[in-house]
Amino acid sequence: MPKNAWTVLQNGVLLVDVREHSEVEACAYSSPAKIHLPYSELKARFAELPTDQALLFACHSGKRSLRAAAYLSYKGYTRVANLEGGLVAWLAAGLPVQGKRCNCSLTD
């Protein structure tokens, strides 16, 4: 899935990183269009997300982003998807990241 995600991100899909601030500071997805909206702030801030653009939710392992995508679907967003495997799968696929501590695993 990460390789497919990379392709759609190159074509206008917005990556929504729902990890917490410290996680993003350590290792960030490198994507042409991305926004950071921590899962802990999602319910209060989801209206900041565009309704006219496809959204790909991402986190460390794909669990928080799956919940975030489901929540946005419940709120009426129709173009949402989850990055299965999250940053762990992204790194395993050799996709680009930014940061100095990007050697994570599922146990992090």
User: Percent of the chain at pLDDT above 70?
Assistant: 93
Q: What is the pTM of this model?
A: 0.91
Residues whose CB is less than 8 angstroms from the CB of residue 29 and which lie 6 or more positions away in sequence, other chains included: 15, 17, 58, 87, 90, 97, 98
Report which of 69, 67, 87 is spatially closest to residue 78, judged by C-alpha positions: 69
Q: Is 75 helix (H, G, I), strand (E, B) or coil?
A: coil
User: pLDDT tens across 42-79, in order?
Assistant: 999 999 999 999 999 999 999 999 999 999 999 999 99
Q: Which residue did the predictor score with more confidence, 4 or 78?
A: 78
The mean predicted confidence, pLDDT, of the chain is 91
In order of start, what are the domains of the chain with their CATH numbers? 2-98 (3.40.250.10)
